Amino acid sequence: MLSRFGIRAATVALPVLLLAACGKDGQTAKANGNAAERPIPVTTYVVQPAAWNDTLQALGTAKARESVTLTAKVSEIVQDVHFESGQDVAAGQKLVTLKGDAAQATLVQAEATFAEAERLYRRQKELADQQLIARSQLDTQLALRDAAAARVRQARADISDRSVRAPFAGVLGIRQVSPGSLITANSVIATLDDISRMYVDFQVPEAALASVGIGDAVTATSTAYPGQSFEGKVDTIDARIDTGTRAVTVRAVFPNPDRKLRPGMLLDVRLFRPERQALVIPEIAVVQVGRDSFVYRVRPDGSVEQATIVAGVRRGGRVEIAEGLAAGERIVVDGTGKLRPGVKVAEARPAQPANGTAPAATDQEG
């Protein structure tokens, strides 16, 4: 059992300990309160209108300005091949010569027949002028002469068909024939493409048709050349809209002096619409929660609030604000993870020049 002295000492000590504990808890609460009231350092941004280009993105297929698969008109043995694979050729340059012995003999015979018919016609014309023969006889000889002349032209055309020439200037593909081989009208000799300029066809939705015009700027990229962009312009807009896809085909033309673009190449195309003014903010400022997007807007007293926004086109680390913000408002760009509505913030470093002018958005869509 405790003595009376021990009970009395414990009774005196207990209030002292309670007072000490209460004093310590009060100091902790006060310290926590001061920490909660301390502004959180963040980076802010003043919303301002900026030059902005909307873009339409699509996949396009590159096509040569002129393209043809070279074939022969007749079935014959190849006598000579006058080109190599990948060679540049001029318009009209001879590429393949086919054997034409039979055609040459036919031409000689036709020319001889024509010469004889011409002599008879001239003789009978003199006789007809002297009224020694009937005019109908002269007309018959004239028809025979014209028929002989037609056979001469046919023989010469047959010989011409045995020479395959380039219909336009361009670069040849891989050679598919050799001297001595028999080719027919369906045999492929080579491909010929004019790739000094390239066409790229792509689809544009019907709803965006009104914003597309001849001469609009177009850029294209290819997986074959990472980091390189090709510049072109809209050349043609198809007269019809595809009823299945509700899209219209747009053709852009691209200069191709270095011949990096090849027919059949798949390209990622971006069509730039006319420049306009829009509210644009750094994309990092947008907080996404499910389907909702919001930013932290700074109030005049230094506290923040959530402002629900409707985001438009995102490009190059920036995003267009369609609804939810007004010019001149300040938002938090960096440090949003520490915030909640009502918390006070302090500027850590500016996110833009002092005048608050947003840079023009002209880079490509990310």
User: In which band, very low, low, confident or very high, does the pLDDT at 361 lie, cut at 50, 70 and 90?
Assistant: very low
Do 57-64+195-272 and 100-161 fold alike per CATH? Answer: no
Q: Is the pLDDT of residue 235 over 60?
A: yes
Q: Output the pLDDT for position 348.
A: 73
Does residue 70 contact residue 189 with C-beta atoms inside 8 Å?
yes
Q: Is the pLDDT of residue 14 over 70?
A: no
**Beta strands 40-46 and 345-347, pairing class:** parallel
Q: Is the pLDDT of residue 354 over 50?
A: no
In angstroms, the CA 117 to CA 111 distance is 10
User: In which band, very low, low, confident or very high, does the pLDDT at 113 lie, cut at 50, 70 and 90?
Assistant: very high
In angstroms, the CA 320 to CA 283 distance is 9
In angstroms, the CA 250 to CA 272 distance is 13
Q: Is the pLDDT of residue 34 over 60?
A: no
More confident site: 198 or 316: 198
pLDDT tens-digit profile of 161-207? 888 999 999 999 999 999 999 998 889 999 999 999 999 999 998 98
Q: Minimum mean pLDDT among 73-82, 137-146, 202-211, 343-352: which range?
A: 343-352
Q: Region 217-238: what's the mean pLDDT? A: 93
More confident site: 222 or 34: 222
Angle at the Cα of 327 (from 329 to 364), degrees rounded to 5? 110
- Report the sign of the C-alpha dihedral through residues 33, 37, 38, 44, in that order: positive
**At the topology level of CATH, where does 57-64+195-272 sit?**
Elongation Factor Tu (Ef-tu); domain 3 (2.40.30)
Does residue 62 contact residue 302 with C-beta atoms inside 8 Å?
no
pLDDT tens-digit profile of 91-112? 999 999 999 888 888 889 999 9
Q: Is the pLDDT of residue 133 over 90?
A: no
The CATH number of the structural domain formed by 40-50+277-347 is: 2.40.420.20
Q: Output the pLDDT for position 350.
A: 52
Q: Output the pLDDT for position 198.
A: 95
User: In which band, very low, low, confident or very high, does the pLDDT at 22 lie, cut at 50, 70 and 90?
Assistant: very low
DSSP state of 329: -
Alpha helix (H) ranges present in the chain? 4-37, 101-129, 135-160
Angle at the Cα of 283 (from 363 to 307), degrees rounded to 5? 140
Q: Is the pLDDT of residue 8 over 90?
A: no
Class of domain 100-161: mainly alpha
Q: Output the pLDDT for position 11.
A: 47
What tokens does 211 get? 């914003």
User: In which band, very low, low, confident or very high, does the pLDDT at 29 lie, cut at 50, 70 and 90?
Assistant: very low
In angstroms, the CA 42 to CA 333 distance is 7
User: In which band, very low, low, confident or very high, does the pLDDT at 151 lie, cut at 50, 70 and 90?
Assistant: very high
* Domain spans in the chain, listed from the N-terminal domain onward: 40-50+277-347, 57-64+195-272, 100-161
User: In which band, very low, low, confident or very high, does the pLDDT at 37 lie, cut at 50, 70 and 90?
Assistant: low
Q: Is the pLDDT of residue 313 over 80?
A: no
CB atoms within 10 A of CB 86: 11
Q: Is the pLDDT of residue 293 over 60?
A: yes
Q: Output the pLDDT for position 65.
A: 92
What tokens does 170 get? 């361009």
Averaged pLDDT score across all residues of the chain: 83
The distance in angstroms from the start CA to the end CA of the chain is: 82
Q: Is the pLDDT of residue 273 over 90?
A: no
Q: Is the pLDDT of residue 262 over 90?
A: yes
